[in-house]
Amino acid sequence: MVERGRDEQHRVASSLELFFDLCFVVAVAQGGVELVHAIAEGHAGSGVVNYARIFFAIWWAWMNFTWFASAYDNDDVIYRLVTLVQIAGVLVLAAGVSRAFEDDDFTVVWLGYLIMRVAMAAHWLRAARSSSGAERKVALRYAGGVLVCQVGWLALMLTPDWAVQSWIFLAMAVLEMCVPVFAERDRQTSWHAHHISERYGLFTIIVIGETIAAATVAVKSGIEEHDALGELLPIAAGGLLIVFAAWWIYFAVPIHDRLHDNRQAFVWGYGHYLIFASAAAIGAGIEVAVEQAVGEAHLSRTAASAAVTIPCAVFLVMVWALHARFFKVGIAQQLTLPVSALAVLACTFAGHWAVLAAGIVTALTVAAGMTLSTRAGRAEAVVRAESW
């Protein structure tokens, strides 16, 4: 298992990586379902905290493997088997999500995470065995850091107090994120920028797909609950507009051109926690809005609307911070997404039209972005023509 080249041509996601993503989204979906139940029952605070914990475990295990595979994927039998063990781990984690939300019992979630991380350490140990010098040191640092962190996570299981657990979780999450920084402080792994950006894009599409499912639920509920059809159809339409716009905005720029070194990659890769989590939470929020509309949720209409608008605003701001701002020229282009995020938040108070209003705002954001970019392109073409 030796490093692949950074300049390798036609590097794309493998069928195993696509299968890996598909199985991980099962856990994402379970977390979204439980978040819906927690918010609908009036336990938004604890629900959001538990969702953040579980999503971190899913995202971190996914991200570690993604960057490793970008540098070392040789697609042999051992590599495939160890990767399938990781997939089994995330399915175990998904099986424990309900218990974690309902009883604050993270034992099964921890066990699933342990399976994934031990398998990841096995990947790194195999890479260390096949390398030498600085490359071997990086692989051993990764393997050691991953295994040491598992001991720290055990403390979370031995602490019954919920507040103390939250602080331990925060400390361990920071420690986990320090492992790649420590491991690669002297030498970077040979991750492939185009491959990495494609992998992140594919996972973004998958989590955005949760919103499509939620909009489908809204339509289905409207058909079954005829009295609420007038309120549910705007939710479904708004949800579709949000997901269409979210896809358009995320993939509007070729971000792989900016991923040149670890400093940029760490900020970009870590920042996607909020992009992935907010994209998946939009779908959960739409389901909350549906349950509120049919009278099955114990919360106000404004609170139900906020379950959609807040994650939507977070998504817009984070895509701007990590992607769009590097490609925007002028104040008008730079302010488009941040102003849109504020407008989406204002839609929270639009009553039963809130989700549809948020969808219209995000659609208008796409239109504004295209218009401004087109005008900037024409102006640049005129300047070039005059210079000739």
Q: Domains plus CATH for the chain?
A: 15-183 (no CATH), 193-387 (1.20.1410)
Task: Work out the angle between the directed axes of helices 354-387 and 331-346 (0-180°, nearest 10).
Answer: 180
Task: State the Cα–Cα distance between residues 256 and 223, nearest whole angstrom.
Answer: 43
Is a pLDDT exceeding 70 seen at residue 382?
Answer: no
Residues in contact with 11: Cβ distance below 8 Å, sequence separation at least 6, in sequence order: 4, 192, 194, 195
- Per DSSP, helices labelled H in 294-353 are 301-322, 331-346
CA 211 to chain centre: 13
Q: Please state, rounded to an integer, the average pLDDT across all residues of the chain.
A: 87
Q: Can you tell me whether residue 5 is helix, strand or coil?
A: coil
Is a pLDDT exceeding 80 seen at residue 228?
Answer: no
Closest alpha carbon to 358 in 309, 300, 315, 303: 309
Q: How many of the other CB atoms lie within 10 Å of CB of 294?
A: 16
Average pLDDT over residues 164-193: 90
Token readout for 78 is: 């051992």
pLDDT in tens, 326-346: 878 888 888 999 999 999 999
Is a pLDDT exceeding 70 seen at residue 379?
Answer: no
Average pLDDT over residues 58-65: 93
Confidence of residue 142 (pLDDT cuts 50, 70, 90): very high
**What's the one-letter identity of residue 332?**
A
Task: State the Cα–Cα distance between residues 162 and 168, nearest whole angstrom.
Answer: 10
Residue 179 near residue 142 (C-beta atoms within 8 A): yes
Q: Would you say how long the chain is, in residues?
A: 388
Q: How many of the other CB atoms lie within 10 Å of CB of 100?
A: 23
Q: Which residue has the higher pLDDT, 226 or 268?
A: 268
* Residue 71 φ/ψ region, left for φ over 0, alpha for ψ in the -120 to 50 degree band, beta for the rest: alpha
